[in-house]
Amino acid sequence: MTIQWFPGHMTRARRQIEAKLKLIDVTIELLDARIPMSSRNPMVDDILKGKPRLVLLNKADLADPAITAEWVKFFTDRGLKTLAIDANTGTGVKEILPKCKELMSAKIETQIRKGINPRAIRGLIVGIPNVGKSTLINQLAGRKIANTGDKPGVTKGQQWIKFGTDMDLLDTPGILWPKFDDQNVGMKLAATGAIKEEILHLDDIAFHTIRYMSEYYGERLKERYGIEELPEDSENPNEVIEVMEAIGRKRGAIISGGRVDLEKTSLLFLRELRSGKLGRVSLEVPEEYL
C-alpha cells in the first residue's frame, strides 16, 4: 500500500508561512516524540530559512522515556535546542519561553545596549497534522484559544496568539509533504494518527506496527492481549497475522464462521496504541538515522 495525503490547504499553508517569515524571530518545530524523524517535515529546513529554532518532542508521555532521552541528545548534538514535552498535561511547557529567550539573547542584549525596550518575541509554530500544535497553544495561553481534535486537519488557517507581554505566537495548519520517499515513514505517521484513517488500509498499518512491536515491545503485546507466543521471525507475515488474530479474538472481533475481523482488530489495536494503553512506545530510534 502506498500512503500519501497532501490536501490543497497544505500548499496554501506553506505559502502563508513563507509570506510571514520576515516577521518571525523564533520558530518552534513540534515533533511527535514517538517518531521524531518520521514526523519531521523535510521541507521545513527550506521553509524556515535558517531562523532560530526550538525543537519540541510532544506526546512524550506516550513515548519510551529512555528512547526520548536519546532523541533529545540526538537533536541537541546537532545544534538544536530541544525539549521533551506533553502539551496535554503541561509537562515541560513552562520551559518553552525561557528557551526561546535563550535563542534571542544576543538580539535582546543588543536592543538593551541601544536603549531599546525589547518587544515581545514573535514565534512561529510548525508541525505535521495532529502533532498537538493547538493543544500546546491552549496550554501556553491557559485557556482554549485554538480548536483541537484527535484527528489530523483541525487547524485550517493561521492565527496570532498573544502570551502576556513576552511572546506572540503564530499558529499554522499541519503540513505534510507531497511524497513519502520511504513508505515506512508513511506507515509510522499513519500508526500515530497523523493521516486521515479514511484513506488508509488499517490492516496494513496494524500489521506493520505489530511486527515492530513483536520485536521490540513483545512483552507489552503478551500482557495486553494474553498472547503466549510471539513470532520467532517477525519478517514472516504468517506469524504476524497469527498475532493479529490473537488480538482480534481477545477483543471479540469475530465474524461469521468464527473468523477474526482483521479490519476491526486493526482499528481497535491502533486506538489502544495511540491512547497509551499499550504503554509508552517509541516506533523509531536515533540509531536508524546515524
pLDDT at 14: 76
- What is the structure's pLDDT at 9? 55
Q: State yes or no: 186 annotated in a binding site.
A: no
> Per the annotation, does 256 bind a ligand?
no
Give one word for 209, left, alpha or beta, with left for phi > 0 and alpha for psi -120 to 50. alpha
Nearest-CA neighbor of 173 among 124, 127, 123, 122? 127
Q: Is 60 annotated as a binding residue?
A: yes
Phi/psi of residue 177, each to 5°?
-125, 160
Q: What share of the chain is helix, strand, coil (3-state, %, to 5)?
A: 45, 15, 40
The Cα–Cα gap between 136 and 229 comes to: 41
- Which residues on adjacent β-strands are paired with residue 55? 29, 82
- Residue 258 marked as a ligand binder: no
Report the pLDDT value the prediction gives residue 45, as an integer from 0 to 100: 87
- DSSP characters for 163-185? ETTTEEEEE------S--SSHHH
Q: What phi and psi values does residue 169 have, to the nearest 5 degrees? A: -120, 130
Q: Is residue 157 marked as binding?
A: no
**Hey, what domains does the chain have and what are their CATH numbers?**
8-171 (3.40.50.300), 201-289 (1.10.1580.10)
- Rounded CA-CA distance 33/72 in Å is 9
Torsion angles phi and psi, residue 262, rounded to 5: -65, -30
260 and 269 Cβ atoms separated by less than 8 Å: no
Q: Is 46 labelled as part of a ligand binding site?
A: no
- Check the annotation: does 218 bind a ligand: no
pLDDT tens series, the chain, 290 aa: 555 555 555 667 778 788 888 899 999 999 999 999 999 988 888 888 889 999 999 999 999 999 999 999 999 999 999 999 999 999 999 999 999 999 999 988 888 888 988 889 999 998 888 899 889 988 888 877 765 444 444 444 567 888 778 899 888 777 777 667 788 898 999 999 988 777 678 999 999 999 999 999 999 999 999 998 898 888 899 999 999 999 999 999 999 899 999 999 999 999 999 999 999 999 999 999 98
Instruction: Check the annotation: does 130 bind a ligand.
Output: yes
Give 119-136 as a DSSP string. -PEEEEEEE-TTSSHHHH
For residue 85, the model assigns a pLDDT of: 98
* Residue 236 labeled ligand binder: no
Question: Do the annotations mark residue 144 as ligand-binding?
Answer: no
Whether residue 203 is annotated as binding a ligand: the answer is: no
Max Cα-Cα span within the chain: 80
| Cβ contact 90:83 at 8 Å | no
pLDDT at 20: 85
